[in-house]
Structure 1
Amino acid sequence: MLLTACGGGNGGNNNSTEVKPEPIPTPTCTSTQYLEGNICKDKVAQTITGLTLPNSINVDQTVSLSAQSSAGLALTYTSKTVDHCRITGDLGQQKVEMFSVGVCTIEANQAGNGKTLAALPVSASSTILPVLTTTGITLCGTNDKNNLVCNASNLGELLGLGQDGEIQAGKKMTYSLIKHNNDECIKDQITGLVWEQKTADAKLHDSNWRYSWFNANTQTNGGNAGSQASSTTCGSTLTSCNTTAYIEALNKANYCGYSDWRLPTRSELINLTDYSSTQPSLNPIFTNTTVVDRYWSSTTSAKQSTQAWMSDFKDGAASPAFKDYMGHIRAVRASQ
């Protein structure tokens, strides 16, 4: 018997196809992840610490900024109150410069990078206070003589006691005129305050007009609203010649381009006084200053709520008066 074997293999005809593995797809990462080794990994969170400002600081001072990111990344600082403070210096050595009375608010940011999340911004604020100006006094006195040069020859053992003329603490008074349309007002370059300029034209700003002290706001009137006067002492420019009515009229008229005028505080009014001169004891840039009566401040007397502080620019004296007294006004506003 003849046995025949059939096809026991593929021989030389292999018709099979090699199967290649499927490529691994690249995952799609979220905004809080990053891709590494074809794996989405979570970005690292970071926080900002160490942003501090003093509670209060004077105009013209600077503060170094040294906040830190927990990821060790460089921070970006931004002034949120550009009218009062600005960021200066190179990256890594930045400072905030205070240049105007008000509130300075600084914000620190860190935007993150490919492996780090952006930090939540943090902020800090500081109240910017005015720098006191000099009194204007440059001479000294003894027990029996005034207007002496402040030296040992004239003062003897009194030298070194800190008379105003000897120390001359503060900054020299410096002012500039601001003109807007037909208005004129005055900026104090040291404190940043802007002051009203009085006139002699029998209109709203006339220096001869007099007003009673009145403030109906119980939060700021010291416990006594004061008195509303008739219209006679301010030339009928107002229906009632009182301090609130006058300030409201200035703001309604957008005097000098501003609508945030107010009565000065006691310290602001006193700081305006130039004791180197009398009648008026005020820088000559302030025109039409009457010396017959005193000027109102917004500050109620702590001793008696029926009185408020006034300043006399005849000789620079300051004292309280009853709120129904008819005095003058020189309005003020904070600088921008």
Structure 2
Amino acid sequence: MGRLIHSALSIILATGLVACGGSGGDEVTENASINVGADRDAVEKSELIINAQVSPPGGTFRWQQLSGPAIEGLPSEEQELALMLPDVKGDRAAQIKVDYRAPDNTLVSDTLTINIASANQLPQIAIAQIAPEQLPSQYNDVVTLSAAGSSDPDENGFIASYLWQQTEGPQLQFSAVDEATLSFRHPLLDSDTTLAWTVFVSDDEGGQVSTEYSLLLNKTAQVVIANAGEDQQATEFDTVTLNAGNSETVSGQFSCYWQQQSGSAVTLASERQCETQFVAPDIDVAQQLSFSVRVSDDLNRSASDEVTVSVQRRALGLINDTGMSACFNNSQAISCDSTDFQGQDAQQGRDSVAQRLDKVGKGDMAFDFTKLNEFADELPDSATEFACVRDNVTGLIWEVKQANTHTLPNTDLREGQNHYSWALNGEGGVLIGSERAPANSSCPSNVDCSVQQYIDEVNAIDFCGGANWRLPTYVELLSLVDYQRHGQAHMISPDYFIHTPSVSLLGHLNYWTSRTSVDGQSLSQAFIIDMSSGNDLAYPKDNTAYVRLVRNP
């Protein structure tokens, strides 16, 4: 809108005297003004003519832009402007100002707002299938559609967003629906099927267009794909999961039926569930278990697949565990799931899988014993008369004592109550520190009551099929201790190691081992294990203790 600005009015009055009489007159200057007219509306990238109307003429002009997008043609000193309006992203407004200096040096001004409308051109959509290279696509091919060829006809415009909306065909899993490309896998189809989408493309100015796009997919040779999963590695006693959940049918609905084909027999949690489990069996050597699954759709069309589970032996060692089945804190039994007291005996080792072990014989927890007769022949576990016991974990054969039916020293050779001093022979003769208790003192021997004399007498009768009986090592004897029996009369299985003497006889249940205590001086002590407590102790060799012999088969 124009604005008229007037200069101050100057009135000059003059009075003169002439000699012949008087005369007088007035002189008024013209007010300076400028007007560029009303605000203008125009379209981007068009030419706009603006003319400044001024009074009086003959002065100078100066045009400048005050705000808005830059306009070509400014600044200027012409009375009439031919402006080229800029390309705008959305409607914009620009304000310009003109100063006019009249011939008498008076300065007047006017401003003008130009409302520039955007003339956005809508995008042009182009869609093409760009994958797979070999057409037509087959089952499981990755199909890719692309709208990247779409364009914005505006000189400095660009495509800002894409949106794919499926309108026809089976529900599919797409890589993304808001990108230039759309990818999916060719699904199972029992007939040629049309897929259709509405595709929306928007430019940087918010202009949006859409189009319909359709694609014909051929039916597949198969209508059911069974997938038993990848082959697996497991360790015996692991819980193994079989999962056919990635199988496919046309409808997406299916049922499963599992069967074991080879390997040690296992029990499936549910053979008619697509996901089932089993416990890897107790094995002697690594082996492979194979399973098949039959997958059926709702029309009873089916297909099968197989999976192999390679089972390795668990590293349980060649020695018995502690026999513990419970976990404890500082004062009482607790759940083995507690995170405050982790890594306990019951949580690891052979006892942790005791209920899953395929034992040769019997025994508490992971202990595995077989009763043998006097010729080392196997007996049923129900036998009440037996001469020795084979430990099926270590393979060792252990002496079983005779009943304590007599009074020392008039006892039978192998009565459990007999006790001996520590004396052993080595490759070079009698071992240092050996002590021989007197004959007929704590045993029925007429030579002496030492461990070596007892070994010699037992080997002389070829007891239990062998003449290689010896004193057990520290570790061998410790392997018989069942710590789960803590607090009972003794900590060795009463079912297999019968005729164990009472603690009251000697005040202890110390049993000799072959390990000498290295005390750095006389080597006068050897280790015993107390079968009433499970503790070990370096014990003077001249003292007497009980003996349980062992031999290798």
Aligned equivalents of 2:386, 2:433: Cα separation in 1? 31
Question: Cα offset for 1:251?
Answer: 0.3
| Letter of the 2:344 counterpart | Q
Question: Cα offset for 1:286?
Answer: 0.5
**Identity over aligned pairs, percent:** 28
Question: Cα offset for 1:150?
Answer: 1.5
Question: Cα offset for 1:288?
Answer: 1.1
| Letter of the 2:516 counterpart | T
Whether the aligned pair in 1 keeps the contact of 2:322 and 2:483 (CA below 8 Å) is: yes
Aligned equivalents of 1:323, 1:147: Cα separation in 2? 39
1:328 maps to: 546
Question: Cα offset for 1:205?
Answer: 0.6
Tell me which structure has the larger Cα radius of gyration. Answer: 2
1:294 equivalent in alignment to 2:504: no
1:157 maps to: 340
Aligned counterpart for 1:134 among listed residues 301, 314, 321:
321
Whether the aligned pair in 2 keeps the contact of 1:211 and 1:233 (CA below 8 Å) is: no
**SS of residue matched to 2:387:** strand
1:236 equivalent in alignment to 2:439: no
Distance of aligned partners of 1:327 and 1:177 in 2 relative to their CA distance in 1, 3 Å threshold: same
Whether the aligned pair in 2 keeps the contact of 1:238 and 1:246 (CA below 8 Å) is: no
Aligned equivalents of 1:238, 1:254: Cα separation in 2? 20
1:175 equivalent in alignment to 2:175: no
The normalised TM-score by structure 2 is 0.34
Aligned equivalents of 2:433, 2:444: Cα separation in 1? 22
| Letter of the 2:542 counterpart | D
Aligned counterpart for 2:468 among listed residues 256, 260, 273:
260
Aligned equivalents of 2:317, 2:337: Cα separation in 1? 31
Aligned equivalents of 1:215, 1:226: Cα separation in 2? 6
Question: Cα offset for 1:157?
Answer: 2.1
1:91 maps to: none
Say how many residue pairs are matched: 202
Question: Cα offset for 1:206?
Answer: 0.7
**SS of residue matched to 1:245:** helix
2:426 maps to: 217
Q: After superposition, what is the alpha-carbon deviation per residue over 1:112-147, rounded to whole angstroms, capped at 9, x for unaligned?
A: xxxxxxxxxxxxxxxxx971211011111112x223
2:458 maps to: 250
| Letter of the 2:500 counterpart | T
Aligned equivalents of 1:256, 1:208: Cα separation in 2? 20
Question: Cα offset for 1:303?
Answer: 2.6
Q: After superposition, what is the alpha-carbon deviation per residue over 1:213-252, rounded to whole angstroms, capped at 9, x for unaligned?
A: 012437587x623211112333433420000000000100
1:147 equivalent in alignment to 2:330: no
| Letter of the 2:323 counterpart | G
Question: Cα offset for 1:327?
Answer: 0.4
Equivalent positions of 1:1-336 (< 5 A) are 131-143=318-330, 145-152=331-338, 156-158=339-341, 160=342, 162-169=343-350, 172-180=366-374, 184-199=387-402, 200-201=404-405, 202-217=411-426, 219=428, 224-277=432-485, 278-284=488-494, 285-290=496-501, 291=503, 292-304=508-520, 305-335=523-553
2:257 maps to: none
Aligned equivalents of 2:417, 2:441: Cα separation in 1? 9
| Letter of the 1:148 counterpart | I
Aligned equivalents of 2:423, 2:443: Cα separation in 1? 18
Distance of aligned partners of 1:239 and 1:136 in 2 relative to their CA distance in 1, 3 Å threshold: same
Aligned equivalents of 2:428, 2:538: Cα separation in 1? 20
Distance of aligned partners of 1:208 and 1:142 in 2 relative to their CA distance in 1, 3 Å threshold: same
Normalized per residue, which structure has more strand?
2
**SS of residue matched to 1:276:** helix
Distance of aligned partners of 1:253 and 1:134 in 2 relative to their CA distance in 1, 3 Å threshold: same
Whether the aligned pair in 1 keeps the contact of 2:434 and 2:541 (CA below 8 Å) is: yes
Whether the aligned pair in 2 keeps the contact of 1:210 and 1:233 (CA below 8 Å) is: no
Aligned equivalents of 1:325, 1:203: Cα separation in 2? 21
Question: Cα offset for 1:196?
Answer: 0.3
| Letter of the 1:136 counterpart | G
| Letter of the 2:334 counterpart | L
Distance of aligned partners of 1:186 and 1:260 in 2 relative to their CA distance in 1, 3 Å threshold: same
The normalised TM-score by structure 1 is 0.55
Whether the aligned pair in 1 keeps the contact of 2:371 and 2:386 (CA below 8 Å) is: no
Whether the aligned pair in 1 keeps the contact of 2:517 and 2:527 (CA below 8 Å) is: yes
Whether the aligned pair in 2 keeps the contact of 1:263 and 1:330 (CA below 8 Å) is: yes
Aligned equivalents of 1:140, 1:238: Cα separation in 2? 50
Whether the aligned pair in 2 keeps the contact of 1:130 and 1:192 (CA below 8 Å) is: no
Distance of aligned partners of 1:220 and 1:189 in 2 relative to their CA distance in 1, 3 Å threshold: farther
Dislocated runs of 4+, deviation >6 Å: none
Give 5+ residue unaligned stretches, structure 1: 1-96, 99-128
